[in-house]
Amino acid sequence: MKPDITSSEKELIKKALAIASKNSFSALSQTLSKKIKALKTDVDILSIKDLIETFYPYTEKPIATWVKVENKLQNTIFVLSRENDILRLADVALHKEYGFYKSLSDENVSVIKQICDLIIGYFIDAEIKLFADNFEQSKPELSINPARAVEFFGFKDVYSQKFLVLSTGFSIENSIECKIFLIFKANEKNEIIKRIEENIHLIS
Q: pLDDT for 69-105, tens place per residue?
A: 988 889 999 999 999 999 999 999 999 999 999 999 9
Residue 87 lies in a domain: yes
User: What mean pLDDT is reported for the chain?
Assistant: 91
Residue 84 lies in a domain: yes
Residue 2 lies in a domain: no
Domain residue limits at 47: 7-202
d(CA 193, CA 6): 11
How is residue 100 annotated by DSSP?
S
**pTM for this model (two decimals):** 0.93
Residue 83 lies in a domain: yes
Query: At 113, which CATH number?
Result: 3.40.1550.10
Any idea which of 1-5, 19-23, 27-31, 81-85 has the lowest mean pLDDT?
1-5
Asked whether the beta carbons of 15 and 168 are under 8 A apart, the reply is no
Residue 184 lies in a domain: yes
Total of domains in the chain? 1
Residue 1 lies in a domain: no
Residue 193 lies in a domain: yes
Q: pLDDT for 142-184, tens place per residue?
A: 999 988 888 888 887 888 889 999 999 999 998 999 999 999 9
Confidence band of 1 (pLDDT split at 50, 70, 90): very low
Cα–Cα distances in Å, from 168 out to 43, 77, 104? 9, 11, 25
